[in-house]
Chains A and B, each alone.
Chain A
Amino acid sequence: MSENTQNANPKTPAAASAPAAGRHAAGATGTRPVVVAGNRIPFSRAGGPYANASNQDMLTAAIDGLVARTGIAGERLGAVAAGAVIKHSRDFNLTRESVLGSALDPATPAYDVQMACATGMETVSSISNKIRLGQIEAGIAGGVDSSSDAPIAVSEGLRRALLKLQRAKTTMQKLQAFKAVRPADLAPAVPSSGEPRTGLSMGEHQALTTQHWGITREAQDELAAASHNNLAAAYERGFFDDLVTPFKGLTKDNNMRPGSTVEKLGTLNPVFGKKLAGEATMTAGNSTPLTDGASAVLITSEQWAAEHSLTPLAEVVDSEAAAVDFVTGNEGLLMAPAYAVPRLLARHGLTLQDLDLVEIHEAFASTVLSIMKAWESPEFCKERLGLDAPLGSIDRSKLNVNGSSLATGHPFAATGGRLVASTAKELAARAKKEGKPQTALISVCAAGGQGVAMLLRSV
């Protein structure tokens, strides 16, 4: 991969052994997409201050805050990509409608993306690729989700009856349309986080994985406490001053519990895996709560950034998606990042230990721990990844250094934008301090057995 030899990073070996070099030639030759700034509204636990805010309200606020931070009101951007996982059917053009309500030039095109919890990552990837290809000069990637303002659908029986009613012409036909409705059909259908193919909730799926990898309760609570304390410390030192804009009176993530300890978290009762044979270890404290929030990231070419007197934070180097067969139980639902990351690293001739920062989305504390344990396992790495040696361990001091989803909460599609913006800022700060380029890995698992990994590098 010529990119590594080009930037002569002494930590990065010239990747003569990197496989399938031709596949990503565009990455080396195209325009470098850089993260210029990010913004999000504080994340709120469901039913909180954003209970009456729609996805469109929140996404518009996130975009407007980003526009203000970068002083680009009235600019026409090449594209805005965003999405929501839980979405009203009326929000078919959610992102475009949000752009129209924002301070951007209304001539800015926009499109919706949906890839479960990896939606935000996919929008970053998509906007970056357009820039790399020279299709656009600047774009915004983001996402939003509301668990409070969730759409409630009618039952299948009632829905069919209503559609039939709409088509009915005579009174008799109209009456007949209703004849088929049963009392049970009147119950509304509320969205759930259950997997359509297994009927198991995400938590129950993860409970299986947690037991498979033998992740202890204490290890999970340790990670959760670190997440809260890292996030609180980051707020304390003003890290989020230019990453977060208040919304509806909320100025900080209200799920954050500064001073969290393993002892305090240890008092919570397990909520997932209670029907499994072994000890149930997953609690509300080491799982992410349902959350409302939105995020947005400005990604541009270096030239566009220079023309607008904006300072790039980090390059979006590359990304890789993976999916696993969780339906048959062959792999855990949230284990796809364990596959995406090694493929991405190999493509760039990097090892886990070459990374300066690692962000692994904390869907559950045990998700992060299971993935890391898999990379340490010679069996997993050989049998599942086809590697001669395990990927090894990650220095915990490089992991989720400013807190992650356990503390901030996880408004599904908004998490990618949060991760990319925070990581880009941290990378830029570290590169300045260390006086040498820094590389970060971001990994996000998603429903449907999917996962996306991404590499950022300081510029």
Chain B
Amino acid sequence: MTDTYLDMVNSGLGKQVAGKLGLPRPVTLRRYRADDDFPQGAVLVLGRGRAADAAAAVLLEWDLDVRRSAADVDRVGAVLLDYTEVQSPSDLGGPALELSSALRKLRPGGRVITLSRPAPGIGTGAASGTVAGAEQLAPSQAAARQGVVGLLRSVAQEMRGGVTANGVLVADGVPADAPSVVGAIRFFLSGRSAYVDGQFLTVGDDRGDASVDWEHPVAGKVAVVTGAARGIGEQVTRTLAASGATVIPVDVPAAGDALTKLANELRVPALQLDVTDPQAGEKILDLVAGRYGRLDLVVHNAGITRDKMLANMDDAKWNSVIAVNIESQLRINETLLAWDRLGPAPRIVCLASTSGVAGNRGQTNYAASKAGVIGAVAATAPLIAAKGGTVNAVAPGFIESEMTAKIPAARRQISRRLNSLQQGGTPVDVAQAITFLLSDAAGGINGQTLRVCGQSMVGA
């Protein structure tokens, strides 16, 4: 699905007209390129805490032009703000105002990243900042920590030119240079997070491996992707394969022809399987065990919509959505977790949706199923952690795909503009977020739901 408006406002006359009329001017996002994956310009590290020092050291290792002050820099590619040691709301102003002075120097495709600690008991939207076992904080410290959330989300809304702002929440007790803190910073700097905006990733423990090859973050892993014949699932399969994994695509028998083409192109076996089959988990494991002897990664992508206003909802529409979108995931996960040949760090990513976060008119069934995914992921996290693994969800917003192409044209135009990046995402954006969460760089991120929505106002 091409976004004609985006093309128009980025060329000659269209650019001028849109500027004069004050129309939205979305830009082509800086997406992942293996040879050129950092923002252009210096990286400012603001704040004087241990996390800032640790981050600066890592950024230097990546050969970036690291500065600790905004004063004499012309071109800024990214700004990191360390708020991990804030004690009261008065601690927020310093780095924020220093960021203010650097904003005009921020290049297109730049990044703002906050490092902070979660305020226990306070949800931060889909990316819940609540970490089990967190200590009770002094009210002023909790206010400061939660203040970062409001600050970051507002910054994200103010950015233009494809600049995104996201935060890393480092749980208390987790060192500022834990592998997944480094991994999350790397992800937010990268074009792999192009359509992730105004979001937080919580690092709950110090598991993971920051030294993974960033070009092939899932190298050597055996993966299964459901709903792989087309759309987001197909792209997830391709991105994981390009990132080094052996990926077995799974889809319903009726989608077998598209699945065949994908499997033959990637030289892997195709599995025609309905995920609602009570034996689906066993059938997946039979194939994977027979061919590869183990399984490392699973992406529960298979999903359907049967939209109707609740007043017009019927049994079939309700039940099929629940069965495919959430019950199949629960059943397959149960089988997976009971299996004795999972790899040493099994990782699962489930597809949720921004509809599951904020609800959506005409999608009671879909939103119930997708909110269910978010709940299931949080509850499955400790179960899979016991096996050395992680489970997370990705909640796509408006993604240009066959599914959103069916939305009437006018409504589609509005939907794709109602986010901070003023455009729809692509299946690649979702696939990249999933790839990161499946990599060992994200080993300390567990039970989270990451929105890939350009900071959508709908479903915020």
Contacts and interface: CB of A to CB of B under 8 A. Distances in A.
Q: Do A and B come from one complex?
A: yes
A247 interface: yes
Contacts of A309: 290-292
Interface stretch (B18-26, B268-276, B336-344): B268-276
B272 A242 contact: yes
A70 interface: yes
B42 to A, nearest CB: 47
Contacts of A310: 290
B253 A246 contact: yes
Contact of A247 (B255, B257, B259, B273): B257
B193 to A, nearest CB: 32
Interface in A233-273: 238, 240-242, 244-247, 251
B438 to A, nearest CB: 21
B4 interface: no
Nearest to A309: B291
B253 A64 contact: no
Contact of B264 (A67, A251, A311): A67
Contacts, number: 65
Given A238-B277, A309-B290, A73 B267 contact: yes
Interface residues of A, number: 23
Nearest to B263: A68
A400 to B, nearest CB: 22
B61 interface: no
Contacts of A311: 290
Contact of B269 (A69, A244, A245, A246): A69
A65 interface: yes
A238 B290 contact: no
B291 A64 contact: no
A61 interface: yes
A68 B253 contact: no
Given A242-B272, A251-B254, A71 B291 contact: yes
A231 to B, nearest CB: 15
A245 B290 contact: no
A406 interface: no
Contacts of B253: 238, 240-241, 244, 246, 251
Interface string A52-71: 00000000010011011111
Interface residues of B, number: 23
Contact of A244 (B255, B256, B261, B277): B256
B267 A246 contact: no
B256 A65 contact: yes
B260 interface: yes
A242 B259 CA distance: 12
Given A61-B257, A246-B256, A309-B290, A68 B264 contact: yes
A48 interface: no
B314 interface: no
Contacts of B263: 68, 71, 73
Contacts of A74: 267
A103 interface: yes
Nearest to A37: B269
Contacts of B261: 64, 68
Contacts of A246: 253-257
A242 B277 CA distance: 14
A245 B269 CA distance: 13
B260 A65 contact: yes
Contacts of B272: 69, 241-242, 245
Contact of A71 (B254, B257, B267): B267
Contacts of A68: 259-261, 263-264, 269-270
A245 B257 CA distance: 6
Interface in B95-145: none
Contacts of B72: none
B265 interface: yes
A434 to B, nearest CB: 20
Contacts of A103: 264-265
Nearest to B255: A246
A103 B263 CA distance: 10
A248 to B, nearest CB: 8
A52 to B, nearest CB: 16
Contacts of A71: 263, 267-270, 291
A240 B252 CA distance: 12
Given A71-B269, A309-B291, A245 B264 contact: no
A399 B264 CA distance: 36
Interface of A: 61, 64-65, 67-71, 73-74, 103, 238, 240-242, 244-247, 251, 309-311
Given A61-B257, A68-B259, 18 more contacts: A65-B256, A67-B260, A67-B264, A68-B263, A69-B272, A71-B268, A71-B269, A71-B270, A73-B265, A73-B266, A74-B267, A103-B264, A103-B265, A238-B277, A241-B253, A247-B257, A309-B292, A310-B290
17 contacts: A64-B261, A67-B260, A68-B259, A68-B260, A68-B264, A68-B269, A73-B267, A103-B264, A238-B274, A240-B253, A245-B257, A245-B272, A247-B257, A251-B254, A309-B292, A310-B290, A311-B290
